[in-house]
Amino acid sequence: QQQVKQSPQSLIVQKGGISIINCAYENTAFDYFPWYQQFPGKGPALLIAIRPDVSEKKEGRFTISFNKSAKQFSLHIMDSQPGDSATYFCAASSNTDKLIFGTGTRLQVFP
């Protein structure tokens, strides 16, 4: 079973701090790594994604760091805000149009 392992399961961060969520994979054929953000009662929404030809991608306060040799990628949320409180999922795919999701991280940002 192809898996994507995500940690931590939950994360509490103070406003203005940095939130870091990590994912690891085993299938070296994966070539697309998105992160999804989900608010309670809503469907997941694409936040940011990276392909393995770059080691980092930044969009506003959100950055993906990608380490191909370690088969790991992580999401960094700079200057975390209470509005960032949500569940975050990493995922991966290998040109099969099917995504394999991590188990999710519940982020709580306190003022």
Partner 1 sequence: DAGITQSPRHKVTETGTPVTLRCHQTENHRYMYWYRQDPGHGLRLIHYSYGVKDTDKGEVSDGYSVSRSKTEDFLLTLESATSSQTSVYFCAIIASGVRDTQYFGPGTRLTVL
Q: Which residues bind partner 1 (CB under 8 A)?
A: 1, 6, 9, 32, 34, 36, 41-46, 49, 89, 93, 95, 97-99, 101-104
Cα–Cα dist 70/26, whole Å: 9
Count CA within 13 A, CB hemisphere, residue 13: 25
Three-state DSSP state, 83: helix
Q: In whole angstroms, how close is the CB of 111 to partner 1 at the nearest point?
A: 26
Q: How far is the CB of 15 from partner 1 (least distance, A)?
A: 26
For partner 1, give the closer residue by CB, 24 or 49: 49
Least Å from the CB of residue 38 to partner 1: 8
Question: What residue ranges in the chain does DSSP mark as E strands?
Answer: 4-7, 10-14, 19-25, 33-38, 45-50, 56-59, 62-67, 72-77, 86-92, 100-101, 105-110
Q: Residue for token digits 């099969």?
A: 96
| Nearer CB in complex with partner 1: 15/39 | 39
**With respect to partner 1, which residue has the nearer C-beta, 33 or 84?**
33
CB 97 to partner 1: min, Å: 6
